[in-house]
Amino acid sequence: MPDTRVEIIRRLARKGAGPALERALGKSRPQDVATAIAHLAPAEQRRVLAGIADLDDAATVLSTVDDVDRVRLVAHLDFERLVSILEHMEVDDEADLIAELPVELRERVLEAISDDDQEHVEDIMGWPPDSAGGIMQPLAFRCSESDTCRDAISALHEQAEDLEMVFYLYVENDQEQLVGVASLRQLLTHAPSTALKDMMISDVLTVGPMTDQEEVARIVSRYDLLALPVVDEHRRLMGIVTIDDVLDVIQEEAVEDMLLMAGVGDELDPADTSVISAARQRITWLLITLVGGIGMAELIGVFEGALEKQAVLAGFIPVILGMGGNVGTQAATIAVRNIATGHLGTDGTRGTAKVLFRETRVGLLLGLFFAFSLGTYTLLRWMDQPMLGAAIAISITVTVVAAAAIGTMVPITLNRLGADPAVATGPFVTTGIDAVAIVIYFGTCVAMLGL
């Protein structure tokens, strides 16, 4: 049904069927409308947004659409409608949208929104966008430790309209320091006269406002939290990072790592990146590959004499390099994933040896399989040279094992040095493995064939 609704909206928007489009939008979920907008031309996107009568729905749509689409839509919004939509947004989403506006328009909008929203938005915008402070929701359900469950439930009724998502009750002392947390289930299952300090969990997981959003996502994922409190140096509650923001972070970081692994930086939308900028982002990694390729040519030249005596060795170079590079990339991807999920720390004490040992064993099994396949082919093709098949089989086995080890250790090493491990699956891994593979291949063949 959602997909059908999305298709209806897209078709009506393209036809310019105003009244029919407005009726369809009124019956659709904002998330489905946002999905439809992603597949429309800019003029059609504006037509859809203009047809949303409910400001809450319009706010949800603008919060949900892709960043590039949101910038395009906001650029053509009437100022009064933009302010009205912003005032129906959650504060953290409102801050994200306002931060994307041109400076002059941003200042006008900040002056136009309510004083409370302005204060919260400016607080959020004061922190880096990829930090806990930059993605937090400043409004949280909080009570004093001297309150009872009855008091807390009454407070919840009073604050319900202002709170985005109420997962937990945060308990503060007289100095407004966070001292405990309780779930809504605890609140409802205890006697109304129970003091919050008698039922709360005092061991509260918290982060500071400068904590990287990736670390926030790891903590939420590891402990299965629905929200994570953000506190200052005095342990005063500044806000909470909710699960919906964490999901956005996970998606954003996954896309960022994918682009880094491909060596294209933040070039997410081709329509939003100039040709010169795109070339500049890619050229660094391609230059590394070019230099590596020249190095490979020079390295192969060292074994020119072996190639003259046994020209057939040249035909297996792409096979050896290709298998080594693919195995290394796979191992690096596994290592980056383990680092991202917190299974591999920067101190080398959590799982590094285990992951390395596992990937090396996987490489050995793969190497033996490919050795049997390639060695059998070589023996059948050059039956008068049995040592050739043995040399190639041994070299590909050693190459694949070495590639698995290198692919695992490069991102781990970069992580310990403070560099982003996602870049490891680019030229660092492939170029390094190519060099090792050439040495192993020709070294083995020269030694076993007497070249």
Distance CA 367, CA 305 (A): 27
| Domain of 88, in residue numbers | 2-130
Asked if the structure places residue 256 within a domain, the reply is no
Number of continuous H segments (helices) and E segments (strands) in the chain: 22, 5
Whether 90 and 164 have beta carbons less than 8 Å apart is answered as: yes
pLDDT of amino acid 236: 95
Q: Are residues 416 and 288 in the same domain?
A: yes
Q: Where are the alpha helices (DSSP H) in 263-385?
A: 275-302, 304-309, 313-340, 352-381
Distance separating alpha carbons of residues 346 and 150, to the nearest angstrom: 46
Query: For 385, phi and psi rounded to 5 degrees?
Result: -130, 70
Q: Domain count for the chain, please give it.
A: 3
Asked if residue 379 is part of any domain, the answer here is: yes
Q: What is the dihedral of CA 388, 394, 395, 400, to 10 degrees?
A: 140
Q: Are residues 443 and 372 in the same domain?
A: yes
207 neighbors 215 (Cβ within 8 angstroms): yes
Q: Give pTM, 2 decimals.
A: 0.68
Specify the pLDDT at position 395.
94
Domain assignment present for residue 250? The answer is no
Determine the 3-state secondary structure of 261 from DSSP: helix
Give domain status of residue 253, yes or no.
no
Residue 261, domain member (yes or no): no
Element of type H or E holding 30: helix 30-37
Which of residues 130, 154, 175 is at a domain's end? Answer: 130
Indicate if 307 and 429 belong to the same structural domain.
yes
CATH number at residue 238: 3.10.580.10
Q: How many CA atoms lie within 13 A of 112 on its CB side?
A: 17
Pairs from 380-389 (Cβ < 8 Å, separation ≥ 24): 382/312, 387/448, 387/449, 388/310, 388/312, 388/445, 388/449
CA distances from 142 to 137, 174, 180, 264, 305 (A): 13, 12, 10, 44, 78
Mean pLDDT by 10 residues, the chain (451 residues): 80 85 90 90 90 91 88 90 91 89 90 87 90 92 93 88 83 94 91 93 94 91 91 94 88 71 57 67 76 85 86 89 90 81 58 84 94 91 88 94 92 80 71 89 89 74
Residue the block writes with tokens 């004490």:
349
| Domain termination site, one of 84, 107, 130 | 130
Over the stretch 186-233, which tens digit does the pLDDT of each residue have?
Answer: 998 999 999 999 999 999 999 999 999 989 998 998 899 999 999 999
Same structural domain, 353 and 226: no
Are 310 and 409 contained in the same domain?
A: yes
Q: Does residue 187 form part of some domain?
A: yes
Are 303 and 383 in a shared domain? Answer: yes
Examine the fold and report which residue of 81, 109, 130 is the final residue of a domain before the chain moves on: 130
Answer yes or no: is 306 within a domain. Answer: yes
Q: Within this chain, do residues 123 and 146 fall inside the same structural domain, yes or no?
A: no
Q: Identify whether residues 387 and 300 lie together within a single domain.
A: yes
Q: Are residues 122 and 198 in the same domain?
A: no
Task: Specify if 264 maps to a domain.
Answer: no
Is residue 27 located within the same domain as residue 163? no
The CATH number covering residue 422 comes to: 1.10.357.20
Residues 307 and 431 in one domain: yes
With pLDDT > 90 as the criterion, what percentage of the chain qualifies? 40
Residue 159 confidence (pLDDT): 83
Q: Token digits for 271? A: 């329509």
Same domain, residue pair 353 and 278? yes
pLDDT value of residue 207: 96
Which structure tokens are listed for 435?
């060099």
For residue 238, with 0-12 CB atoms within 10 Å meaning exposed, 13-18 middle and 19 or more buried, which class applies? buried
pLDDT at position 350:
53
Q: Domain holding 61: CATH number?
A: 1.25.60.10
How are the residues of the chain apportioned to helix, strand and coil, as percentages rounded to the nearest 5? 70, 10, 25
